[in-house]
């Protein structure tokens, strides 16, 4: 026999309701919906897409401003002089072994690698939890970072360091480091780990790995003459901020709140 709760859950998983946010919020109050609504509902509604677009515009404005400052008014300041000294130091301390190992370090965040890794990880998360919040956290964080990077690097057009470069790139602009930004955006995985476990070793491991990958990528990119130090540092911040924005957007969806309740340590939802 069909109950009112069943009817509420069905309405939460269709597009016929005029207010998706209020719809899922109301349905999440019923016991069946707490378990099933996050798995059956797409969390990105008009409000979330709007917030994402506004965030993208804000990030582009801020990072473009920083890049143009480094390229223009700050060009003859201690900041940019330090950039050049660091770039020259890396170029002067190259060795055959490091030339080889930094290829791997740089390729950790290569375009094809990150697309493949994101697709595989998102699919695995979707199969494990059968809901969209976790895979979207990773995918949207990287998409926001990538969209911002592509726009900013096209507008700013900062020349790469004036040293011998060990590789080529279809992108001629140095600011910011897209490889490092993408590597930092994978800190979204650490957020997901924190959502699902209270085990200290797992949390510490996720944080350490999330810090090590952008460090390795950033050092490799500077060593290979592809970026200045400020390119790498602003890339790291861009990746982390992209994750923080995505967490905020998804956490304020009805589906995100339902997942938060399901993974609340006090509810027994995590180990």
For residue 248, the SS3 value is helix
Residue 49 has pLDDT above 80, yes or no: yes
38-47, 128-137, 162-171, 247-256: range with lowest mean pLDDT? 38-47
Distance in angstroms (rounded) separating the CA atoms of residues 93 and 223: 9
Question: What's the pLDDT band for 198 if we cut at 50, 70, 90?
Answer: confident
**Residue percentage of the chain with pLDDT more than 70:** 80
What mean pLDDT value characterizes the chain?
Answer: 83
Closest to 58 (Cα-Cα) out of 239, 242, 249, 182: 242
CA 65: distance to chain centroid? 21
pLDDT of residue 175: 93
pLDDT of residue 164: 87
Q: Cis before residue 176, ω within 30 degrees of 0?
A: yes
Domain boundaries, the chain: 1-41, 45-267
Crossing angle between the packed helical segments 96-107 and 200-223, to the nearest 10 degrees: 120
Distance in angstroms (rounded) separating the CA atoms of residues 179 and 153: 12
Residue 268 has pLDDT above 60, yes or no: no
Residue 8 has pLDDT above 60, yes or no: no
pTM: 0.79
Closest to 208 (Cα-Cα) out of 196, 181, 195, 190: 190
């Amino acid at each position: 026999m069909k109950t009112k709760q069943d009817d509420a859950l069905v309405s939460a998983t269709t597009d016929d309701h005029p207010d998706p946010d209020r719809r899922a919020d109301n349905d999440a109050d019923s016991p069946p919906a707490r378990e099933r609504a996050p798995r059956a509902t797409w969390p990105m509604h008009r409000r979330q897409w709007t917030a994402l677009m506004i965030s993208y515009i804000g990030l582009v404005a801020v990072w473009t401003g920083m890049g143009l400052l480094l390229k223009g008014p700050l060009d003859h300041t201690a900041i940019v002089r330090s950039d050049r000294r660091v770039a020259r130091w890396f170029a002067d301390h190259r060795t055959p072994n490091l030339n080889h190992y930094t290829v791997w370090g740089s390729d950790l965040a290569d375009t094809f690698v990150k697309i493949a890794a994101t697709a595989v990880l998102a699919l695995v998360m979707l199969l494990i939890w059968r809901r969209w919040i976790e895979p979207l956290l990773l995918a949207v964080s990287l998409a926001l970072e990538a969209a911002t990077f592509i726009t900013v690097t096209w507008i700013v057009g900062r020349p790469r360091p004036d040293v011998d470069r060990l590789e080529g790139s279809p992108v001629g602009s140095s600011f910011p480091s897209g490889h490092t930004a993408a590597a930092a955006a994978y800190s979204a995985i650490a957020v997901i780990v924190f959502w699902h476990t209270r085990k200290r070793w797992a949390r510490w491991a996720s944080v350490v790995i999330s810090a090590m990958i952008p460090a390795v990528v950033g050092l490799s990119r500077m060593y290979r003459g592809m970026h200045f130090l400020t390119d790498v540092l602003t890339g790291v911040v861009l990746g982390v901020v992209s994750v923080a924005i995505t967490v905020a957007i998804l956490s304020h969806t009805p589906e995100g709140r339902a997942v938060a309740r399901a993974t609340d340590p006090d509810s027994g939802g995590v180990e």
